[in-house]
Amino acid sequence: MVELSTPRLDAIFHALGDATRRHMLADLAGGERSVGQLAEPFAISLAAASKHIRTLEQAGLIRREVRGRTHLCRLDPGPLATAHEWLSFYERFWTGRLDVLERLLREEDSRRSPTPEGDKT
């Protein structure tokens, strides 16, 4: 059984629950970015961008490094594997349910379909 709720998993899904943060993660998949670069596509202040980045950091999804006056961020994909594992449990659950439904519908169709004349099945 998959763990339903852990502080780490809660933080990951909280961080992923915001479109701005998901966009920032997508940008970071292309490589290291400064806070300014991450904020640039949005009509937000650097302070607002920093709050989003802090949320991503708390979830462990990014790492921030200070080089002089520049704060550089990079993606840490490890926690995404935790979220993927959790989601995979439900993917398998629903795939199994849908497979059963498909089988039942096929059986129902085969019972309703008349057998062509001359077919000795």
Specify the pLDDT at position 111. 87
Specify the pLDDT at position 117. 61
Local confidence pLDDT in tens for the 121 residues of the chain: 555 557 789 999 999 999 999 999 999 999 999 999 999 999 999 999 999 999 999 999 999 999 999 999 999 998 998 888 888 888 887 888 888 888 888 988 888 876 666 555 5
CATH of the domain at 61: 1.10.10.10
Reading the block at residue 40, the tokens are: 């640039």
Task: Let me know if residue 103 belongs to a domain.
Answer: yes
Reading the block at residue 59, the tokens are: 């979830």
DSSP run (H or E) holding 18: none
How many structural domains are present in the chain?
1
Task: Let me know if residue 120 belongs to a domain.
Answer: no
User: What are the percentages of helix, strand and coil residues in the chain, rounded to 5?
Assistant: 60, 10, 30
By residue range, what is the domain housing residue 83? 1-111
